[in-house]
Chain A
Amino acid sequence: MATAPVPGPVPGSLRAWLLSPAPASRRQARFGRWFRAWLGFRRNPLAMSGLAIVALLVLMAVFAPLIADQQSATLQVLQDRLQPASWQHPFGTDELGRDIFARVVFGSRITLTIVVMVGVIVVPVGLAIGLPAGYFGGVVDTVLMRITDIFLAFPRLVLALAFAAALGPGIENAVIAIALTAWPPYARLARAETLTSRRAEFIQAAELQGASHLRIIATQIVPLCLPSVIIRLTLDMAGIILTAAGLGFLGLGAQPPAPEWGAMVSSGRQVLLDQWWVATIPGLAIFIVSLGFNLLGDGLRDASDARS
């Protein structure tokens, strides 16, 4: 730190470097922008609680074997069925005597897997369709956007149900079914972002320098689109989790004995009147995680929105 070339007060030099009104390099400018966004984000307690929930979810999924016993998530102990909460079973046991706590903890892995895989599929697909549509316009735009419209015309859950039923039950198929129904908004978003910057001077400059279309899209337009796409994805996570839980509830998601939260709610319905915890606890888990992603997404949007 002693050799820091940046002028200013020595304590908090990194902060000063980041907040410098006259950045010396592009890198400094970019980091500075991110840091300012983070400062704005940090002032928003709701967004911070959303971040905390999502961070907890990720930690829970990663360290699941340390938190709960993997075996007891699927081990049936018929003598101990439908037990209320106790020290041995913090959330009680379900209709086959399985520990609900362990099931909720390991269920987070399934939820997170679905969310991540859907994100990984949806963003590239959305960009691949939205960017050319906005960039080239004309016939390309019309064709790609009408295809998008067709997918948008179906109610999302119903379409996901149809796909999941046709593909057969299972996590992978649920992911594909959800991804197939979730990409159109991303395509539209990417197209809109592209349109706004399509005639910007720096794009024209790049064109004059002889850059290919592919190069312009990849290096100039994609970075402009990504932030809004990522924010949109965070906001969508709640919907994706709910859709996944809905598929699981209807028996089209993860298959038994996998501790998928939606399937757990479904099996708990039968004893809802007397053993409320069997359905309620995984239901709460779905609720909290969806809320967390929503708050996080809202916070990110507020923090990144330069226009407001």
Chain B
Amino acid sequence: MTEISRRLLLAGAAAAPFAGWVRIADAAAPKDTAVFAKQIDDIITLDPGECYELSGIEMCTNIYDRLLRYEAEDLNKLVGGVAESWTVSPDGKTFTFKIRPNLKFQSGAPVTAEDVEFSLQRVVLMDKTSAFLLTQLGWSKTTVKDLVKGSGDTLTLKITADFAPSLVLNLMTSIVASVVEKKVALANETNGDLGNGWLKTHSASSGAFKLLAWKANESVSLEAYPGFRLGAPPLKRVVVRHVPEPASQRLLLEKADADYARDLTPDQIKPLASNPDIKVESFKAANTFYMGLNLGYEPLANPKVRQAMKMLVDYDGMVKSFLAGRFFVQQSFLPLGFFGAIEYVPFKLDVAKAKALLAEAGYKDGFAVKMAAPNVSPWTEISQSVQQTMGQAGIKVSIEPMELKAVISQYRGRGHQIAMLSWGPDYFDPHTNADSFVHNDDNSDTPKTKPIAWRNKWFIPDITKEMLAAAKELDAKKRAEQYAALQKKVTDEGPYIFMFQNNNQIARRTTATGFNPGITEDLNFYRTIRKS
């Protein structure tokens, strides 16, 4: 008997990944609830002062209102969020914001300048991954209390670094400018964490939605806030289910258990075209899909080796086959659609040339290298394709598939040799990507910030200076030229193999309308969704 039961157990365990289907399939999506099927295993926190992951940013942008915003109604126009109006001093160092009257938090308390002051200060004081967005303005743990001041309906920000005012205002539309209710956050403080522990899984916001629950690797449930600044959202609830399998996402959509499927592959989308209940739409997105090469690993420190590796990726082959429609080739740290972005595609698969370069570099027979890649589609396919093409020149890539979270934390600790990942901009200005991909003037193990250039040990004090100069440039034309030069330099010499920019291909039930994702996660608004 034990023999049989153990065999059953094994069979059951092998089938476990499918169990999710069965359970979810029972729950049909109600009329007043929009259900998303999406990969959300990258979420590690929903505290807007800490959150820095793509799915987390999407949740937070719907939960929290921000100081300034780009709204769903016009994605290109900078408007006030909780701020009604703002002025910039002639020297570009002092920013004064007037907070809207009559705004209320979900708790019922009014939104005051003091809350905004607290929200900005806590980002700097907590000093999490996203804090650099604000500390680059010259704010530090000791000075932020003097430089960020709010009283009554007026908020005053002073910056000490040289930054173009438009860049500063754009920063105030990013996740770190989310407004948290001070009283609630402090009421739930433990050990002086400014409410960080509690806010990971709770919300204290004035945004369009309230966080009902986040169950890691399972779902995020949001409830509409009727008192939202722009009016109550039409739907009562939004549920985002973590569905890692594109095939399961498609099944859920076809069975009407989900209204939106977010991560379908071209193989899933093709057969959906003939289904009259489902519509597939494509929106340009701003995520950069790339590989980071850690210069701490001997062969990768050689510029010729990096040059060769950039020629050992079958960019076109992938985009034309299993990535069709979902990605297009863009080999720059700036996604098209951003200010200053250039269409730059200098590298193509060229094994012969790559081999010659490797021989010149002293690696005629190639070398072995480990690559960390997330263990879900399309990463598994991309990584295997790269493994094959690199193998043709003797570079033996061993793939280490792991959870996205694990790849990210290994990457942040510089523990990788090659890391295959995507990057999404934090706010709508080229500086957001430049400051991560092109900023490393402190290569020690404990720098102030840990941008991507640092993670790959690319020590570039001079290029960093050029990048910072571009951030300060007030003349738009000159600024664009500076960014163009930077992009070419980084793509040609940097420790990155830039591969693709993505299209957001979204399949929806025809009964659900109004979700039109923008170029960044900050612009993925749930409050416009309607269901018939």
Contact = CB atoms under 8 A, between A and B. Distances in A.
Interface of A: 74-76, 78-79, 81-82, 95-97, 155-158, 169, 235, 238-239, 242-243, 245-246, 249-251, 255-257, 262, 267, 269-275
A157 B387 contact: no
A78 B314 contact: yes
Contact of B10 (A95, A156, A273): A156
Interface stretch (B227-235, B243-251, B428-436, B475-483): B243-251
A242 B10 contact: yes
Interface stretch (B72-80, B120-128, B264-272, B351-359): B264-272
Contacts of B167: none
Interface stretch (B61-69, B337-345, B396-404): B396-404
A239 B267 contact: no
B6 interface: yes
B10 A76 contact: no
A96 B381 contact: yes
A74 B401 CA distance: 18
Contacts of A243: 10
B383 A238 contact: no
B267 A238 contact: no
10 contacts: A76-B388, A96-B322, A96-B384, A169-B400, A242-B14, A246-B10, A251-B402, A269-B17, A273-B251, A274-B270
B245 A273 contact: no
Contact of A238 (B7, B320, B387): B7
Interface in B312-330: 314, 317-318, 320-322
B22 interface: no
B13 interface: yes
A273 B13 contact: no
A270 B13 contact: no
B380 interface: yes
A78 B385 contact: yes
Given A81-B322, A270-B245, A274-B271, A235 B3 contact: yes
B1 interface: no
B100 to A, nearest CB: 47
A157 B265 CA distance: 31
A96 B7 contact: no
A76 B385 contact: yes
A271 B381 contact: no
Given A78-B318, A274-B271, A257 B13 contact: no
B474 to A, nearest CB: 47
Contacts of B314: 78
Nearest to A76: B388
A78 B320 contact: yes
Interface of B: 3, 6-7, 9-11, 13-14, 17, 245-247, 250-251, 265, 267-268, 270-271, 314, 317-318, 320-322, 375, 377, 380-381, 383-385, 387-388, 398-402
A78 B384 contact: no
A76 B268 CA distance: 20
B130 to A, nearest CB: 30
A270 B321 contact: no
Nearest to B13: A157
Contact of B380 (A155, A169, A250, A267): A267
A298 to B, nearest CB: 11
Given A78-B322, A156-B6, 5 more contacts: A78-B321, A155-B9, A251-B375, A255-B400, A256-B387
A243 B6 CA distance: 11
Given A96-B381, A169-B400, A257-B388, A271 B10 contact: no
A76 B7 CA distance: 35
A256 B9 contact: no
A238 B7 CA distance: 9
Contacts of B322: 78, 81, 95-96
A88 B203 CA distance: 58
Contact of A95 (B267, B400, B402): B267
A81 B17 CA distance: 25
Nearest to B377: A270
A169 B251 contact: no
A255 B17 CA distance: 19
A269 B388 contact: no
A251 B3 contact: no
B3 A270 contact: no
A156 B13 CA distance: 10
A97 B320 CA distance: 13
In the A-B complex, the 6 residue pairs with the closest CB atoms: A78-B321, A157-B13, A246-B14, A242-B10, A78-B317, A270-B247
Contacts of B400: 169, 255
A267 B317 CA distance: 20
A68 B443 CA distance: 51
Contacts of B318: 78
B246 A96 contact: no
A169 B268 contact: no
A254 B3 CA distance: 26
Contact of B13 (A82, A97, A246, A272): A246
B10 A270 contact: no
A229 to B, nearest CB: 15
A72 to B, nearest CB: 12
A202 to B, nearest CB: 32
Contacts of B388: 74-76, 257
A272 B267 CA distance: 10
A158 B16 CA distance: 12
A96 B385 contact: yes
B271 A273 contact: yes
A156 B245 contact: no
A256 B245 contact: no
B247 A269 contact: yes
Contact of B14 (A95, A249, A273): A249
Contacts of B9: 155-157
Contacts of B268: 270
A270 B320 contact: no
A76 B141 CA distance: 53
Q: Among the interface residues A78, A82, A157, A238, which one has the most CB atoms of the partner chain B within 10 A?
A: A78
Nearest to A235: B3
B247 A271 contact: yes
B229 to A, nearest CB: 41
A169 B370 CA distance: 13
